[in-house]
Amino acid sequence: MSEEKEFITEWANPNLGLTARITKLLHEEQSPFQHIQVAEGIQYGRMLILDGVFQTSVKDEFIYHEMIAHVPLMMHPCPKRVLIIGGGDGGCAREVCRHGCVRQVDLCEIDEKVMEISKTYFPALSSALRNPPEKLHIHVGDGIGYVKTVEDFYDVILVDCSDPVGPGEGLFTREFYKNASKALRAGGILVQQSESPILHQRLLHDIFQAMGESFPIVRTYIANIPIYPTGMHSFTMASKQYDPLTVSCSRPVPQPMKYYNSQIQKSAFVLPEFVKDCLYRGIYSF
């Protein structure tokens, strides 16, 4: 698709949007699940947009994917089986597969079109999908239903989902966290992208509280991701055994990295006071 387009905007809410100047809209279609666009941007390069929401770009994708994958994987002493729910662009799978101790990676993506488009327009991002290693198994289907069928199997579950609307809505529920806990082994860890700690404070608080009903340890950590409105993004981790505030990395970090390092492993969990107020006291400042 060669349609010329000067600007594209993600509206975070009626009062705030992030606008990027683009040179071309490369692809646009409606899948059975969502509206998919690929745009050639000037500031961040090629961008993937789902239902009007900026998902990733070639310039900053490494931040999100390194932080959702390596923080939990380095916290676990020896993760062997990993489940990725969502992650159809392939970035999370690419990072997980870099860990030699991981023997099995199951990626469960509901929208096959996202994977096809990523392989076409984002070759570096989707490298694990385009040339899957033997340990990567791709399942096209509903991750919520898939988790219900598994018990005491995975060491780490990564929920690399879009916003809690449409196909991703059911991934932000107490029932899902309960089923995820059952699917994890004794030392299992769950991580979910949990939106902006500025724009989505009530949602972040609700996720934190809901995970706490199924897991003894729940922590939120932060990363700076420019393509998301406000630039501050959160991930929430639920663990059966390991606390990121006290556990130290016992394995070498895969190299090279562009964002993650062993110091960030700890410092990402150091939260601003307004985020603590949101999580622990339900006080919303924005």
Catalytic residues: 160
CA 234 – CA 236 distance, rounded (Å)? 7
Sign of the torsion formed by the C-alpha atoms of 234, 240, 245 and 249: negative
CA 255 – CA 247 distance, rounded (Å)? 21
**Phi, psi of 251, rounded to the nearest 5 degrees:** -125, 155
Query: H helices of 124-267, where?
Result: 127-130, 143-148, 174-183, 201-212, 262-267
CA 213 – CA 232 distance, rounded (Å)? 26
CA 274 – CA 198 distance, rounded (Å)? 9
For the chain, strand residue ranges (E) read 7-13, 16-30, 35-41, 46-50, 53-57, 81-86, 104-109, 136-140, 154-160, 184-193, 217-224, 232-239
**Phi, psi of 29, rounded to the nearest 5 degrees:** -160, 160
Q: What angle do CA 116, 120, 121 make, to 5 degrees?
A: 115
Retrieve residue 133's tokens: 């290693």
Three-state DSSP at 157 gives strand
Task: Give 171's contacts (C-beta < 8 A, 6+ positions apart).
Answer: 85, 86, 143, 144, 159, 161, 164, 192
CB 189 within 8 A of CB 214: no
